[in-house]
Amino acid sequence: MRETKSEENISSFRWVVLACFMFVALLSQLFWLTFAPITSEVVKLFNVSPFEVSLLSLVWPLVFVILAIPVGIFIDKKGFKISVVIGALLLAIFSVFRIFSTIPDYNYSVLLISQTGAAISQPFIFGCITKIAINWFSEKDQGLATGLGTIGLFIGMMLALAITPFLFLSVGITKMLMIYALISCAGAFFFIFFAKERKVATIIDETSAFNLKNLWELSKLKGFIIIEFGFFVVVGGFTAIMTWLEQVLSSLHGISIDQAGIIGGLMIIGGIIGSIIVPAISDRVNKIKPFVLLDLAIGTLAVFLIGSFDSFILLGLIFFIGGFFLMSALPLVLEISSRISGPGMEGRASSLLWFFSQVGSVLLIAIVDPVYSLWGSYYHSILLIVILWLISFLLFLTMKEVNRSIKT
């Protein structure tokens, strides 16, 4: 199946569609990590354990693992507009429900149910990043569009870590949740009324049948298997590092909580900048594989160096550089996956990759503490992640370059 698009038919309205999507993507990450930076306070208010507070975040990858594949098929069948609308409405509805977990009394069960309901939105949103880029953007701009789409995710993470503590201390948890609910309803409104599907001419063949058999055939492709492994260990490892960042930096270097937050923020800021610059350069030179290899090499080296320096400034620089390269690889690999899978399979391909990333996140987050208990240092957990990333790098070396004009 080949999609035909002319440059003249792609209007500037594509940036409006992309901006609306980025807003919704931002909200999904904001809601995912809402309670992570105020864990100790939530423990006191709801009279629960830290583990129960962690479930408010952990439920997101768990729900994603269950829904990723069927939702990916739904996205390819129904298109990105209806899929993101479903995700945006779920966020809006359950953001309102979260308020009632604090009124009239603090009720952890209501909060957990609300977080679980909001988590259902994530696969509907994540699976549409490449779909929007392919639907609205020319081939030479698809890498940039995918990079901007993923930036929404990064900004949401950064805002959750930076704004939640400020709002909590300023207005309290109930008003904080009200503010988030209002923003979420606005996000759903803007996407519903301003985003739209773009009609494109396609030649349909039997590979566009929406069934699990195609998904199985996709997973048997060598290149796609390598990408699946990469998402499992790289995205999963990145999530594990961010989750354990405070404990790792405190244990290895005596870094304080506020300094750890700054260092984590620098990593995400680096990722945002990298996700704009690297895909744009990749688009211009019409090469993807060399940039992915460069990203993996420098990102892996940066993580390896975490245990080598005690200086706050040097650690901040290392994390910034690591984020710049590691996170900029994400839109590039998503673009490769869409070209390996071919038109009509983009949603399923990206959802399958996010599925592996969430499985990797759950497993690698869980393995950090046992490795620490066994060896007595968090650096051994970091080394395990580094080794897995090196394996991913070596596997990616065996892949062929994906031409932007010819689907493989």
**Greater pLDDT, 8 or 198:** 198
- Domain for residue 26, yes or no? yes
Both 181 and 224 in one domain: the answer is: no
Same domain? 255 vs 392: yes
**Do residues 227 and 358 share a domain?**
yes
Asked if residue 284 and residue 141 are part of one domain, the reply reads no
205 belongs to a structural domain? no
Range of the domain at 294: 215-403
The pLDDT-based confidence of 391 (bands split at 50, 70, 90) is very high
User: String of b and e for 41-66 (b: at least 16 CB within 10 Å)?
Assistant: ebbebbebeeeebebbbbbbbbbbbe
Answer yes or no: do 244 and 190 share one domain. no
Ranking 139-148, 201-210, 302-311 by mean pLDDT, the lowest is 201-210
Query: Is residue 106 domain-shared with residue 225, that is, in the same domain?
Result: no
pLDDT in tens, 308-353: 888 889 999 999 999 999 888 888 887 788 777 766 666 667 767 8
CB contact set of 29 (below 8 Å; sequence gap of 6+): 152, 153, 154, 155, 156, 157, 159, 160
22 and 165 assigned to the same domain: yes
**Is the same domain home to 57 and 125?**
yes
For the chain, the domain total comes to: 2
Element (H, E) at 333: helix 312-341
Burial class (CB in 10 A: 0-12, 13-18, 19+), 131: buried
Looking at the fold, whether 28 and 108 belong to one and the same domain comes out as yes
pLDDT tens-digit map of 177-233: 999 999 999 999 999 988 877 765 443 333 344 455 666 666 667 788 888 899 999
Residue range 359-378, pLDDT digits in tens: 888 888 778 878 888 888 88
Model-wide pTM > 0.85 = no
Region 104-122: mean pLDDT is 94
* Residues 30 and 175 reside in one and the same domain: yes
| Cis bond before residue 70 (omega within 30° of 0) | no
Mean pLDDT value across the chain: 82
210 is a domain residue = no
Of 146, 164, 196, the domain-final residue: 196
Whether residue 367 is contained in a domain is answered as yes
pLDDT band at 154 (very low <50, low <70, confident <90, very high): confident
pLDDT of 222-260, one tens digit each? 788 888 899 999 988 888 887 777 677 877 888 776 677
Rounded CA separation 9/12 (Å)? 10
At 3, is the pLDDT very low, low, confident or very high (cuts 50, 70, 90)? very low
Is 5 part of any domain? no
Instruction: Give the domain-ending residue among 196, 225, 241.
Output: 196
Quote the CA–CA distance of 189 and 7 in Å, as a whole number: 30
Quick one: 354 and 398 in the same domain? yes
Q: Domain of 394: which CATH number?
A: 1.20.1250.20
pLDDT score of 5 more than 70: no
Of 14-23, 89-98, 235-244, where does mean pLDDT reach its minimum? Answer: 235-244
Are residues 155 and 272 in contact, defined by beta-carbon separation less than 8 angstroms?
A: yes
User: What tokens appear for 99 in the block?
Assistant: 């308020």
Where would I find the H helices in 100-141? 108-119, 121-126, 129-136
Token reading at 80: 């990105």
Whether 175 and 258 map to the same domain: the answer is no
Residue 206 lies in a domain: no
Q: Choose one of 161, 196, 231: the last residue of a domain.
A: 196
